[in-house]
Amino acid sequence: MEHPRAIIPAEEAVYNAEKMGKATLFKSEHMMVGLNAFEPGQEHKLHAHKDMDKMYQVIEGSGLFLLEDREVAMEAGVLLVAPADVPHGIRNTGSDRLLVLVVLSPAP
């Protein structure tokens, strides 16, 4: 991974029929940038990151952000921040693929 470089997220996406696909676009000790790619019906179950904040930016598709106490609709252009220790996840409830840019800080 040579940086800085221009990145087109959709060209880096890795889809997997069995489970959510992941691709790392950048990683340093300060931050990790990746992609989560979901086929229709796939889900990333509720989980939390100790001492790491996580930002999700929906690139394409639609679905739900899963939070400990509620679900929030997501579609292209929507951003959600899950602070450290807050349970969160994603479910693709749409009929199309869902692609989400992910930023974790500090990097895992």
Q: What is the 3-state secondary structure (H, E, C) of 25-81?
A: EEECCCCEEEEEEECCCCEEEEECCCCCEEEEEEEECEEEEEECCEEEEEECCCEEE
Domains of the chain: 20-105 (2.60.120.10)
Residue 86: is its pLDDT beyond 70? yes
Instruction: Grade residue 1 by pLDDT with cuts at 50, 70 and 90.
Output: low
- Go through the chain and tell me how many residues it has: 108
pLDDT tens for 25-49 read 999 999 999 999 999 999 999 999 9
Residue 52 CA to residue 58 CA, distance in Å, equals 20
**Full-model pTM:** 0.93
The distance from CA 54 to its chain's CA centroid, rounded to whole angstroms, is 9
